[in-house]
Amino acid sequence: MALDVVVGLGSNLGDRLAHLRGAVHEVGRVFEVRARSSVFETAPWGPPQPDYLNAAIRILAATDIDQVLCALLDIERRGGRVRSADARWGARTIDLDILWAEGVTRSTETLTVPHARLTERAFALCPLLEVAPDARDPRTGLPFAPPPPDPGVRRTALVL
């Protein structure tokens, strides 16, 4: 059985677009990439840092959600991402988050699906709805609603 998953991508260090494109390429080596969103420029959360580029991809994975997470963490590591508890909202070369997986709910120390603050973050929800307009919250069965306009999230002309 294949798993339908939306992965959020973000980068705010170095050549942000190259980091996103490289991550999409690497994800495509492991999973089938079925759709790519627009690229959004986003004001950062947390400490002062450069703006992010954010996007989402919809993938088909012939594995379980834990293996998807392992593969994404490996791609982040190879892309220069250093995870540390004291830099939770810090700058990063690449950030890959499982935003949603069809029919999957999970809440553990290492993974929450759907993403814990998905509906509060236009920079994640807007790209998700572009690649998965049919996505429903697996906890309620209700479709995800578009977020209210957010001046800190701007669609760009950049292409993944």
Q: Rounded to 5 degrees, what are φ and ψ at 127?
A: -65, -40
User: Is 52 in contact with 81 (CB distance < 8 Å)?
Assistant: no
DSSP3 helix / strand / coil % (the chain, rounded to 5): 30, 25, 45
| Active-site option among 16, 21, 36, 97 | 97
Residues 36, 58, 92, 121: which is the catalytic one?
Answer: 92
CA distances 127 to 19, 36, 42, 78, 87, Å, are 17, 8, 12, 24, 24
From the candidates 34, 81, 88, 117, give the one annotated as an active-site residue: 81
- Say whether 92 is catalytic: yes
Is 64 a residue of the active site?
no
| 51 in catalytic set | no
Catalytic residue from among 95, 121, 134, 155? 95
Three-state SS at 18: helix
The verdict on whether 95 is a catalytic residue reads yes
Which positions are catalytic? 81, 92, 95, 97
